[in-house]
Amino acid sequence: MLKEESIKALLRDVPDFPKPGILFKDITPLLAEPEARKWVVTEIANHFRDQKIDAVAAVEARGFIFGMLLAEALDVAFVPVRKAGKLPYHKIREEYDLEYGKASIEMHVDALKPGCRVLIHDDLLATGGTAGAAGNLIHKLGGVVAGYSFIINLAFLPGEAILTNKFGVRPHYLVKYE
């Protein structure tokens, strides 16, 4: 069984990406390890298995990787949350602040049914901007934010508190950097 330190050992720090002063946490080495990938999916899926999740909404692009695997493991729908301009059908949009700028994400208007309990997944929690925006999209479509899952929490940034206060749902993550 893997532990937090084993997962951290599979994460690569990339300084000054995507801009100077940012230390990017790269999950690519983790993706190359089948045992570690399986452990990540199993740990997150087991945490949410009894919470009556109807769909996993995952944020482009790194969130898609484990988001789809989580949807498979939980046997629920997968909802892509994409960068603005990437979805082909009728959509709703939410703008938000990043730790290094502004961005927008979108979902299809028919991505979920009202009352649908949604697990929002992304690879990393920093300021909570992206995940919070995804939560806003879920609410606009009448869904319920049932949970947040992340591989990495940058606990020195306010994301965990922001998401907990915004939707009353404490984010779940596997590794934390303080």
Annotated catalytic residue within 72, 93, 99, 160? 99
**CA-CA distance, 44 to 52, in Å (whole number)?**
14
User: For residues 58 and 121, is the Cβ–Cβ distance under 8 A?
Assistant: yes
Dist. CA 91–CA 63, nearest whole Å: 19
Find how far residue 73's CA is from the centre of its chain: 16
Report the Cα–Cα distance between both ends of the chain, in Å, rounded. 24
- Residue 92 has phi, psi (to 5 degrees) of -115, 155
Q: Is 62 a catalytic residue?
A: yes
Distance CA 70, CA 58 (A): 10
Measured distance CA(11)–CA(155) in Å, rounded = 16
37 is catalytic: no
Q: Which of 62, 94, 117, 160 is the catalytic position?
A: 62
Catalytic annotation, residues: 62, 99
